[in-house]
Chain A
């Protein structure tokens, strides 16, 4: 871990660029449970952010709200200058309709813990469905791009396989290809290695590293793969009990932090 921490970030993002995503005092409750108690966060184009913290701290909820899978209880999320969950109607701010939400979330892609591939489609069809039907792109062009993307994640020889014929690691690589073919500007990774057998984790992380190094999209990784996340992240958020308890570069959060909770969390992690 130490070599990771001392290494300076190669491609740190210039702070002068306008954020592509802004969370403004975003809160989320499920019934009486206050999962997020006021999140303020900016994501800049190309920025790689790792979200760490104990389970139940609301890590996943942060990115699920950005993907519109969960609606904030209060606060605003601004994407490309547009309010994700609200729209203007007759001069008033009202709950956004589907059309507005689809317009705003178009630049966001997500990879899930449980892959969520479409079981009734081959892996090539999994990749092609959205660009063709959602973006109305040319089918031949999409096919070519999808094949290239599947080759990139090492599955070029299995184009006509169904998800049920693949291993967990392969499924997750397909899921990443499927998201990438949509050319998102922001990619969200929700504990993408947590459901994998230990020996399959490496191949998935390798793909993520490849994306992080060669693509210029912003990435938010919710993860337990501490070392890996810190290695590729420009910024680390430590989430605890529904608030961002600490944020900064990997060094700032993991070495210099005086925050007690960060310390005890890391202690537990080092033991494990």
Chain B
């Protein structure tokens, strides 16, 4: 009974952070997707400079920790260059977006390369331009292959949003930390509820990922 009343007391407090968690999730996911396609297409382009430059970006952002990148954008850039990337919200969204954009660009690149060579050859035989081949033939098939991985990474982005509490954003984890510091004995329960909320938030994406897998299977067998 005590637990139930505690849960009833704690949950609404945590949910005050729901808006921030969701808005950071949506914004950084959109940035990550856009970055993924731009970088992924650059990685398969014939332009050497574009290709190499994007390669450096991908390896740097994949190879270093997200939390350090976040701190770098938040603390180091303003000190070094005297510029703010915008509010804390923007800093968090940009860091998460660039980090996951790097991972997802590899998914985009891999899926494009995984489309059967014969598809490109058939498109050439029909005298399509490079651009037409990509838009009409390769991408529609590649996107189907990407869907499951995009779902997986979106779940990861959702979980990564909790890092913005470290740069003062008031998301779900932030409120959890605040409550724990005022009421240490409740810590286990608070964090269980925090986990549970994140799990509930992940459910739609888990479902979408499954859906994506079915679509991916249907679309590419010739």
Task: Indicate if the CB atoms of B128 and A134 lie closer than 8 Å.
Answer: yes
Q: In the complex, what's the smallest C-beta–C-beta distance from A175 to chain B, in angstroms?
A: 8
Task: Indicate if the CB atoms of A117 and B222 lie closer than 8 Å.
Answer: yes
A residues near B141, Cβ cutoff 8 Å: 118-120
Q: In the complex, what's the smallest C-beta–C-beta distance from A72 to chain B, in angstroms?
A: 16
In the assembly, what is the distance between CA of A134 and CA of B126, in Å? 8
Counting chain B CB atoms within 10 Å of each CB, the highest count among A67, A69, A116, A164 belongs to A116
In the assembly, what is the distance between CA of A133 and CA of B132, in Å? 8
Q: B59 at interface (Cβ–Cβ under 8 A)?
A: no
Task: Indicate if the CB atoms of B128 and A133 lie closer than 8 Å.
Answer: yes
B residues near A182, Cβ cutoff 8 Å: 126-127
Which residues of B, 74-101, contact A by the 8 Å Cβ criterion?
Answer: none
Q: B4 at interface (Cβ–Cβ under 8 A)?
A: no
Which residues of B, 179-222, contact A by the 8 Å Cβ criterion?
Answer: 219-222
Task: Indicate if the CB atoms of A133 and B222 lie closer than 8 Å.
Answer: no
Task: Indicate if the CB atoms of B125 and A134 lie closer than 8 Å.
Answer: no
In the assembly, what is the distance between CA of A108 and CA of B122, in Å? 12
Interface range, B side = 20 to 34
In the assembly, what is the distance between CA of A155 and CA of B63, in Å? 53
Which residues of B, 118-142, contact A by the 8 Å Cβ criterion?
Answer: 118-119, 121-122, 124-130, 132, 136-137, 140-141
Q: In the complex, what's the smallest C-beta–C-beta distance from A103 to chain B, in angstroms?
A: 9
Q: B144 at interface (Cβ–Cβ under 8 A)?
A: yes
In the assembly, what is the distance between CA of A93 and CA of B220, in Å? 42
Q: In the complex, what's the smallest C-beta–C-beta distance from B111 to chain A, in angstroms?
A: 13
Task: Indicate if the CB atoms of B129 and A130 lie closer than 8 Å.
Answer: no
The interface bits of chain A over 105-132 (1 if a CB of B lies within 8 angstroms of the residue's CB, else 0) are 1101110101111111000000001100
A residues near B126, Cβ cutoff 8 Å: 109, 129-130, 134, 178-179, 182
Counting chain A CB atoms within 10 Å of each CB, the highest count among B121, B122, B127, B140 belongs to B127
Task: Indicate if the CB atoms of B122 and A116 lie closer than 8 Å.
Answer: yes
Give the nearest-CB partner of B137 in chain A: A118
Known pairs A112-B118, A116-B118; A130 contacts B140 (CB<8 A): no
Q: A209 at interface (Cβ–Cβ under 8 A)?
A: no
In the assembly, what is the distance between CA of A72 and CA of B136, in Å? 28
Q: In the complex, what's the smallest C-beta–C-beta distance from B127 to chain A, in angstroms?
A: 5
- Which residue in B130, B221, B222 is a CB contact (below 8 Å) of A115? B222
Known pairs A98-B130, A119-B141, A134-B132; A164 contacts B221 (CB<8 A): yes
Interface of B is mostly: helix
Task: Indicate if the CB atoms of B222 and A164 lie closer than 8 Å.
Answer: yes
Give the nearest-CB partner of B220 in chain A: A119
Which residues of B, 35-86, contact A by the 8 Å Cβ criterion?
Answer: none
Q: In the complex, what's the smallest C-beta–C-beta distance from B97 to chain A, in angstroms?
A: 29
Task: Indicate if the CB atoms of A119 and B129 lie closer than 8 Å.
Answer: no
Q: In the complex, what's the smallest C-beta–C-beta distance from B147 to chain A, in angstroms?
A: 13
Task: Indicate if the CB atoms of B128 and A130 lie closer than 8 Å.
Answer: yes
Task: Indicate if the CB atoms of A102 and B122 lie closer than 8 Å.
Answer: no
Give the nearest-CB partner of B132 in chain A: A133
- Which residue in A98, A110, A163, A164 is a CB contact (below 8 Å) of B125? A110
Q: In the complex, what's the smallest C-beta–C-beta distance from B214 to chain A, in angstroms?
A: 15
In the assembly, what is the distance between CA of A2 and CA of B140, in Å? 50
B residues near A114, Cβ cutoff 8 Å: 118
Q: A68 at interface (Cβ–Cβ under 8 A)?
A: yes
In the assembly, what is the distance between CA of A164 and CA of B220, in Å? 9
A residues near B122, Cβ cutoff 8 Å: 112, 116-118, 175
Task: Indicate if the CB atoms of A109 and B125 lie closer than 8 Å.
Answer: yes
Task: Indicate if the CB atoms of B222 and A112 lie closer than 8 Å.
Answer: no
In the assembly, what is the distance between CA of A108 and CA of B124, in Å? 10
B interface residues with partner A (beta carbon < 8 Å)? 116, 118-119, 121-122, 124-130, 132, 136-137, 140-141, 144, 219-222
Given contacts A98-B129, A133-B136, 7 further A-B contacts (CB under 8 A): A116-B118, A116-B121, A116-B222, A118-B122, A119-B221, A130-B128, A134-B126
Q: List 21 A-B contacts (CB under 8 A).
A: A67-B121, A98-B129, A106-B127, A109-B125, A109-B126, A112-B122, A112-B125, A115-B222, A116-B119, A116-B222, A118-B119, A118-B122, A118-B137, A119-B141, A120-B220, A130-B126, A133-B128, A134-B132, A179-B125, A179-B126, A182-B126
